[in-house]
Structure 1
């Protein structure tokens, strides 16, 4: 199956789940330097939570089933056999039943295919966008490279025309920004209750 070449697609039964993973290098660096304390651990956990919640809420909003979301390495390792994580890593498993057939074909055949790819892209980008929007002072784009790489690989495989691929990126980015802002407004309303 072609979609298995996408790094974050792990071998799952019949390709029915997409795993998006967020890897944070700075906690390991801090640990090795011996300067990591409880406050910074909580801050890194918060960043990871915000990132994974972005993936999960966007999937729910787009009616894409979410199987599970976690920042617990033990929980994740039980569900993803070849996961090699440490502290500061989260994962969100969403259904791939809409995107898998498009990725297996390796090309966009209809408007529905394009819609599915855009919604898949929004779900992937919502993690990094949420993290950047709600923790801008500490956002590091390198921590979200896997999400960007996964979407970039899928788009390159599905749409050979650069102009059209760039147009899809713009739609994904604009839609993701609106969705993450909506999540923020809803969260703010909950805090005011």
Structure 2
């Protein structure tokens, strides 16, 4: 059984979901793939400890603090490849950035392959079910493009600015599939 509640944030309404013990979803309202990893109906319930802890974590995050991901019990639902990508995302430091290409190299190494497609990595990053906490917003294109955020480019910009990222070399693409 899965449970959900909402959290009002500076980037809009966020849905939080859990399996009772572990966080399985954090989605911005209107986000692509919102709830896509949960195959059954979620019951609204506000008083589940993991959801309460997550709200407090988000309060600190949006206050400009750097709460540790390890404070939360995360259980994103996805296959082995996606889990590897999401684990790498969890290693990106607060206020840091990484490229899809860099992640592809790391995934290839973990899977004992010589190469890995940046596009495949982009798909896994885009399907991250625990946005903000598993920081997919810290992934950028090799050229500094702020592409590929399922919660929307404007939300990605706000999150990076909140974390104090130097935005001077980054830009919003004028066209592309991930806008």
Q: TM-score, normalised by structure 2?
A: 0.29
Q: Give the helix-richer structure, 1 or 2.
A: 1
Larger RCO, structures 1/2 (Cα 8 Å, 6+ apart): 1
Greater fraction strand: 2
Using the size of structure 1 for normalisation, the TM-score is 0.27
Q: Rg bigger for which structure?
A: 1
